[in-house]
Chains A and B, each alone.
Chain A
Amino acid sequence: MKTVYMDHAAATPVRKQVVEAMLPYFDEHFGNPSTVYDMGSRIKHVIDEQRATVAELIGAKAGEIIFTSSGAEANNLAIKGIGLARQKKGKHIIISAIEHHSVLNSARFLERMDFEVTFLQVDQHGLVDPERLSRAIRPETILVSIMHANNEIGTIEPISDLSAICREKGVVFHTDAVATVGNIPVDVNELNVDLLSLSGVSLGAPKGIGALYFRNNLRLMPLIHGGIQESGRRAGTENVPAIVGLGKASELAAQELPHKAEHVKELRDRLVTGVHGRIEQVKYTGHPEKRLPGHASFCIEAIEGEALVFMLSQKGIYVNTGSACASKALKTSPVLVAIGVPPDLAQGSAVFTLNGTNTVDEIQYVLDQLPVAVEKLRSLSPIWRTKTAA
């Protein structure tokens, strides 16, 4: 059976060149980077080289990168690390209502420690309004965290407008860029952010590696205490093969980015046009233009997203319904609720995330199979039967 993978927001295959770069660091160069003898110090040097490569991808300096175990850890370190380090200045933080769970739940954790959190509402496309942010900032606000792009609806936020407001008011600004780094150009100076999270998962690097960019003068309370790895900001012996993998994936991403976005956007547009031409009662969610190039998200009336995902997987098509980590919860997506999608329509969420390896043939295969699956599910739906009978 043909396999068509269109869930690259959940995971990307690890690139062959990435695996090859990683392999020697499992056995040949296995030493502990913290040791003083050459076997360790050579590996410390390799880690610093990867740090420089990852930094280069986002326009940062090597010393501004902390390697973490994931994008989620990077988000935790940003929210809790800044919150705890700056709490004497104030205990109010602002996040958007559509943040990833790793930001949302880190903010809720701080709420339990007497912080106050403002959950900023978004418009029907998922955009945060800079004016609204400006009004929400108070003298005791110490941190604002707004994601660069939303993984469920693909909307790209106006980060440089939002960060400019924070810079003017002396508030630290973090962005979760897990969905964007490797998919569109990301530059920390253009975005004017203080902290930025990224993950290997969306870059063609292995799972279990991420990074946090932080401006050099920022104080950040460590979450993992122990040795002085990552300049005393994150303890634990480094995951050297994964760091090398992230470095290689960053190098490849930097080379491919200029062509990749155009290619996936063309495929995405073909998919979107095809879906609208073949299936009735479909809502395209997220911003129509300000969105990730390979991202297409729909709410299809009178179907269950999970059932659709299952049926498509039986035809070798792998897509998602909402974010990978939240879709198992069988709960209406808070992101779709936040953009005003009615709860019954939100049940029919289907998210397609493409990358450079997808082809026109694959899009055609999806366009052949998707309407069949939708029709089958709708034939079982009493809601659809009532609607079409009326």
Chain B
Amino acid sequence: MKFVENQPSDDTLDLVCRMCPVHLLEPGDKLRCLKKGQVLEVLTDYDGALEDIPNWCKKCGEEFIGIEEDDDCYKLYIKKTK
């Protein structure tokens, strides 16, 4: 698991309080609206996402940058590479 601090991002997807597997469905839609090289910040309180999102990035060919732990959620960063 890669940890980051103060990672800048171009857009945020807030999935806090949303049910699994929304965290595997909505990042793809959101990334489609970003340009290559831009970074998406995904906020979630679902522990399973810490494993699922890096694996999803690998499968989809996107770059997983890392995780930052906040007071009430996790922040996961994905760089659009396709």
- B26 → A minimal CB distance (Å): 8
- B44 → A minimal CB distance (Å): 11
Complex contacts, B14 vs chain A, CB 8 Å: 217, 219
Given A88-B71, A88-B72: A220 and B17 interface contact (C-beta under 8 Å): yes
Indicate if A226 sits at the interface (CB-CB under 8 A): yes
Indicate if B18 sits at the interface (CB-CB under 8 A): yes
Report the stretch among A178-186, A227-235, A343-351 that lies at the interface.
A227-235
Q: Which residues in chain B, 4-25, are within 8 Å of chain A measured between CB atoms?
A: 14-22, 25
Max chain A C-beta neighbours (<10 A), residue from B21, B25, B72: B72
Q: Which residues in chain A, 180-235, are within 8 Å of chain B measured between CB atoms?
A: 217, 219-222, 225-228, 231-233, 235
Indicate if A307 sits at the interface (CB-CB under 8 A): no
The interface bits of chain B over 27-65 (1 if a CB of A lies within 8 angstroms of the residue's CB, else 0) are 000000000000000000000000000000000000000
Q: Does the CB pair A233–B72 fall under 8 Å?
A: no
- A388 → B minimal CB distance (Å): 61
- Give Cα A227–Cα B25 distance, bound, in whole angstroms: 13
- B24 → A minimal CB distance (Å): 10
- Give Cα A231–Cα B30 distance, bound, in whole angstroms: 14
- Give Cα A222–Cα B15 distance, bound, in whole angstroms: 12
- Give Cα A85–Cα B73 distance, bound, in whole angstroms: 11
Q: Does the CB pair A219–B17 fall under 8 Å?
A: yes
- B12 → A minimal CB distance (Å): 10
State the main secondary structure of chain B at its contact with A.
loop
Q: Which residue of B lies closest to A234 (CB)?
A: B19
Complex contacts, A222 vs chain B, CB 8 Å: 17-19
Q: Does the CB pair B71–A228 fall under 8 Å?
A: no
Number of A-B residue pairs having CB atoms within 8 Å of each other in the complex: 34
Q: How large is the interface on A (under 10, 10 to 19, 20 to 34, 35 or more residues)?
A: 10 to 19
Q: Does the CB pair B17–A228 fall under 8 Å?
A: no
Complex contacts, B22 vs chain A, CB 8 Å: 228, 231-232
Q: Which residues in chain A, 23-74, are within 8 Å of chain B measured between CB atoms?
A: none
Complex contacts, A227 vs chain B, CB 8 Å: 19
Complex contacts, B20 vs chain A, CB 8 Å: 228, 232
- Give Cα A235–Cα B18 distance, bound, in whole angstroms: 10
Complex contacts, A81 vs chain B, CB 8 Å: 17
Pick from B16, B18, B71, B72: contact of A231, CB under 8 Å: B18
Q: Does the CB pair B16–A232 fall under 8 Å?
A: no
- Give Cα A228–Cα B20 distance, bound, in whole angstroms: 7
- Give Cα A260–Cα B20 distance, bound, in whole angstroms: 44
Q: Does the CB pair A85–B19 fall under 8 Å?
A: no
The interface bits of chain A over 77-89 (1 if a CB of B lies within 8 angstroms of the residue's CB, else 0) are 0000100010010
Given A228-B22, A228-B25, A232-B22: A85 and B71 interface contact (C-beta under 8 Å): no
Q: Which residues in chain A, 69-124, are within 8 Å of chain B measured between CB atoms?
A: 81, 85, 88
- A234 → B minimal CB distance (Å): 9
- Give Cα A221–Cα B46 distance, bound, in whole angstroms: 12
Q: What would be 13 A-B contacts, judged by CB atoms less than 8 Å apart?
A: A81-B17, A85-B16, A88-B71, A219-B14, A219-B16, A220-B17, A222-B17, A222-B18, A225-B19, A227-B19, A228-B19, A232-B18, A232-B20
Which residues of B are interface residues toward A (Cβ below 8 A)?
A: 14-22, 25, 71-72
- CB-based closest 9 A-B pairs: A232-B22, A232-B18, A232-B19, A219-B17, A221-B17, A219-B16, A85-B17, A228-B22, A88-B72
Q: A232-B20, A235-B19 are in contact. List 12 more A-B contacts (CB 8 A).
A: A85-B16, A85-B17, A219-B14, A219-B17, A222-B19, A227-B19, A228-B18, A228-B19, A228-B25, A231-B18, A232-B22, A233-B18
Which residues of A are interface residues toward B (Cβ below 8 A)?
A: 81, 85, 88, 217, 219-222, 225-228, 231-233, 235
